[in-house]
Amino acid sequence: MDEEERVRVGPPDEINRVNDVTWELPLSYKKGMKVPARIIANEELIGAMDEGVFEQVTNVACLPGIQRYSFCMPDGHWGYGFPIGGVAAFDPAHGGVISPGGIGFDINCGMRLITTNLKIEEVKPKIKELVDELYKYVPAGVGCKGFVKISKDEFREVMKNGAQWCLQKGYATLDDIEHIEDRGKIAVANPDKVSDKAIKRGLDQIGTLGSGNHYLEIQEVRTENIYDADMAAVMGIKENGQIVIMVHCGSRGFGHQIGTDYLVKFLQVMPKYNIEILDKELACAPFNSLEGQDYYAAMACAANMAFANRQVITYRIREVFSKVFKRPWQEMEMNLVYDVAHNIAKLEKYTIDGKEKELLVHRKGSTRAFGPKRGKDLPEEYRRIGQPVILGGSMETGSYLLVGTDKSDETFCSTAHGAGRTMSRAAAKRKVRGEELQKDMEKRGIYVHGSTMAGLAEEAGCAYKDIEAVVDSLEAAGITKRIVALKPIGNVKG
């Protein structure tokens, strides 16, 4: 379906309402469905979802080895293969597959949040200087290149070690590493499974934002937006007017090329495994096959590169703040709250029909949300409260810090990753002029520096869902709990 042809028709007549925020399309909805499809959304959001969501979430429900349900989160919208916001878990022991379309091309596109002890009255007078310097230090836009210059052999080390490579090179602290999902390194990574073309695309992209919806944002904490002061304090958020920084980016062209390479390969090998799919964008292979394992190892290389990318960006952010405020970043307490991955597949254990199984969980534009009972996989201070979840909103409306709950096991410990688009990029550009948007935002106290005016128009707040409706839906489903809303005051846009 062409992006411009997508329409909002509301949910199909066959959809059943399970509760206030859970909707189910039954096995009878589409021939070949192996499990029902469930969408988490309130009435407002389900009524506005594009028809691609219903088509794609039920296509996913037809894939081999899928367990329990095919899910879509409240930020869901049409994507490639899976809907954006799609979650599905597959049993490798019973033919479960791995699908690049269920992970995404920007592998480990993710979020991180950094606290400071700076206050709004210190930062506001310097916001233009800060944002403009950040734009210089953290390259943004299509084809941008980073300051880290490394050989192919060194890049192989990045692929294998992720953010832990940054620790060796002085771009990270041990505390940073402890506050990254998987400690910033997925061990199964094997650079031998990555093409030379992908390596060429990724070699000079470490420390760059890229384009699209990627951003680096300076945000303000306000007392009225703190919903759980105790949990917020555990995560380093304590005061009215406190300044924090959020980063959203991924593996850039490197991950895109890996996804492209293996989609082509999977389309070729599916007949060998007697796999039939409803959409070629869902090309897949059995996880335990040679091809499936090769892609998993290559995907992990891209995920590790993305962890390193966000860590180097953090290093540059600290440099800029130190330069502008003329003091060490440590003195400003620029600490990492957490770094979470989107667009990834992970092996995790779940109980299905009373039996514990190791499943491959695909999260496409969705976020892991471990609750306290999975605390052994979290930094020590988060084990009693649950995993921090960083939910990005539009550059006009702000974002959220949430925590995962034990009830998230029902959705394979997954939740939404952002507000989710309601408008195509082309439609946004027709409706909004970037120059006017930039001026209007500045009048409202948000200074934004983008790589292009067209890129700014694409990311206008009107192109996104109401983040409050998304968060309300997640809380009503019980899979995450809101901790604090964060309001933008400055933004570097890719």
Beta-carbon neighbour count of residue 438 at 10 Å? Answer: 18
The pLDDT, as a whole number, for residue 459 is 86
State both tokens at 386: 């649950």
User: Which residues of 353-424 form beta strands (DSSP E)?
Assistant: 355-364, 366-368, 388-391, 399-404, 414-416
Q: Is the pLDDT of residue 43 over 80?
A: yes
Q: How do residues 339-397 score in pLDDT, each as one tens digit?
A: 999 999 999 999 999 999 999 999 999 999 999 999 999 999 999 999 999 999 988 88
In whole angstroms, give the CA distance from residue 87 to residue 411: 8
pLDDT recorded at residue 394: 87
CB 346 within 8 A of CB 108: no
Give residue 8's pLDDT: 53
Confidence band (pLDDT; 50, 70, 90) for 4?
A: very low
C-alpha to C-alpha distance for 188 and 373, rounded to whole angstroms: 25
Where is average pLDDT lowest: 30-44, 72-86, 420-434?
Answer: 420-434
Contacts of 54 (CB under 8 A, 6+ apart): 11, 12, 15, 25, 37, 39
Domain 3-94+105-493 CATH (choose: 3.80.10.10, 3.10.180.10, 3.90.1860.10, 3.40.50.300): 3.90.1860.10
**Token couple for 492:** 């570097």
Q: What secondary structure letter does DSSP report for 409?
A: G
Residue type, 335: N
Evaluate if residue 204 carries a pLDDT over 50: yes
Residue 78 is classified by DSSP as: -
Residue among 209, 206, 176 at smallest CA distance from 305 = 206
Per-residue model confidence (pLDDT) at position 1: 37
Contact 355, 335 (CB under 8 A): no
pLDDT tens digits for 157-173? 999 999 999 999 999 99
d(CA 148, CA 319): 15
The tens digit of pLDDT for each residue in 215-266 reads: 999 999 999 999 999 999 999 999 999 999 999 999 999 999 999 999 999 9
Least confident of 23-32, 210-219, 313-322, 352-361: 210-219
Sole residue written with tokens 């999975």: 374
pLDDT the model gives residue 455? 84
pTM for this predicted structure: 0.96
pLDDT band at 7 (very low <50, low <70, confident <90, very high): low
What's the chain's average pLDDT? 95
Count CA atoms within 13 Å of residue 357 on its CB side: 20
Q: Residue 316 pLDDT more than 90?
A: yes
The pLDDT of residue 9: 63
Q: How far apart are CA 274 and CA 411, in angstroms?
A: 29
User: Strand 110-119 relative to strand 22-25: parallel, antiparallel, unpaired?
Assistant: unpaired
* Gap between the terminal Cα atoms of the chain: 26
pLDDT, tens digit, 9 for 90 and up, residues 142-152:
888 888 999 99
Write down the pLDDT at residue 3. 43
CA proximity to 87, closest of 322, 333, 342 = 342
Read off the pLDDT band of 139 (50, 70, 90): confident
List the structure tokens of 469: 């409706």
Q: Which two tokens stand for residue 249?
A: 């980016």
d(CA 79, CA 127): 35
User: Both tokens of residue 15?
Assistant: 């959809």
Res. 450: pLDDT tops 90: no
How many angstroms separate the CA atoms of 112 and 318, rounded? 14
pLDDT in tens, 90-105: 999 999 999 999 999 9
pLDDT given at position 265: 98
Residue 429: pLDDT band by 50, 70, 90 thresholds?
confident
Which amino acid, 129? E
Q: Cα–Cα distance between 166 and 93 in angstroms, integer?
A: 36
Annotated active-site positions, please?
Answer: 417
- Using the Cα atoms of residue 17, residue 18, residue 19 and residue 22 in order, give the sign of their dihedral: negative
Rounded to whole angstroms, the Cα distance separating 451 from 479 reads 36
DSSP letter at 410? G
Strand partners, 86: 72, 364
Residue ranges per domain, the chain? 3-94+105-493
